[in-house]
A = this chain, B = another copy of it.
Amino acid sequence: MARVTISETVPPAADGPGAAAPRPSRRRPERRDPAATREALLQAGAELFALHGFDGTSTDALARRAGVNKALISYHFGGKLGLYRAILAATFEPVRERVVALRATPQPAPEALREFIAVFGETASRRQPAFPAMLVRELITPGSPAVSELRPYLVDVLGTVRHILERGVRDGQFREVDPLMTHLSMVGALAFFFATGPARARIVASMPPALKVQPPSADAFVRHMQDLMTLGLAKRPGRS
């Protein structure tokens, strides 16, 4: 029997240091706990789908990573696609909430924009690490089974950014800019940076030590983007 020693009743969630390749991240307790099963599958799915995409992730790998029988994917989520949908919602909903909350901020527009960038960065680097990769993956895969579900989130986030930008223009702090293109460039840069973090780490790791550059931290990049956007959008005194 494969039943192993009881380790913990609650998902540890504490990642080991560095990148351990095939870590079986959850050993499930002897006693049943369907909520923990669902949670383990959601967690494993967020990691694997973000890393390898929907097609590139097998149900066997999913189940193994979650420490759970493969059939439970169908049992709890109705199949691989159902799990993917659930993960998408669980990943994007918190982001949307935090972003939309910025709509009502009393801060001046440039500060609100900085705040938006900080929220994106904090979400991507600490709260929902899978979020940028999943966003990018969905958006470059037309015919993905879940793009339509993504739309409301995207619309809400875009709406918030547009709101901030238009306020800034109205208040004379931002030059006349196209809100959609500004939104796309800002979110695109952020999503690209965080989604490609692992690949960049791999690339520098495979370089001769002489050429190595230490990769920029999430916080540093957030600050970079804050400066770039506020300066790039700022209304300058002498211009039409």
A binding-site residues for B, Cβ under 8 Å: 17-20, 51-53, 55-56, 133, 136-143, 145, 147-148, 151, 154, 177-178, 180-182, 184-193, 195-196, 198-200, 202-203, 206, 213, 216, 220-221, 224-225, 227-229, 231-234, 236-238
B191 touching A192 by the CB < 8 A rule? yes
| Complex interface: chain B residues within 8 A of A139 (CB) | 192, 195-196, 199-200
With CB as the reference atom, state the residue of chain B lying closest to A185: B189
Given A136-B140, A154-B203, check contact A224 B189 (CB 8 Å): no
Given A56-B55, A136-B136, check contact A142 B202 (CB 8 Å): yes
19 A–B contacts from the bound complex (CB under 8 Å): A17-B145, A19-B143, A136-B196, A139-B196, A139-B199, A140-B196, A147-B202, A147-B203, A148-B206, A151-B206, A180-B213, A181-B220, A181-B224, A182-B224, A184-B221, A185-B225, A228-B233, A236-B238, A237-B237
Please indicate which of the listed interface residues A18, A137, A151, A180 has the most CB atoms of chain B within 10 Å of its own CB: A180
Please indicate which of the listed interface residues A20, A136, A178, A206 has the most CB atoms of chain B within 10 Å of its own CB: A136
With CB as the reference atom, state the residue of chain B lying closest to A177: B224
How many angstroms between the C-alpha atoms of A51 and B55 in the bound complex? 13
| Complex interface: chain B residues within 8 A of A184 (CB) | 189, 192-193, 196, 216, 221
How many angstroms between the C-alpha atoms of A196 and B144 in the bound complex? 13
Cβ contact of A52, chosen from B141, B202, B213, B233, cutoff 8 A: B141
| Complex interface: chain B residues within 8 A of A233 (CB) | 228, 231
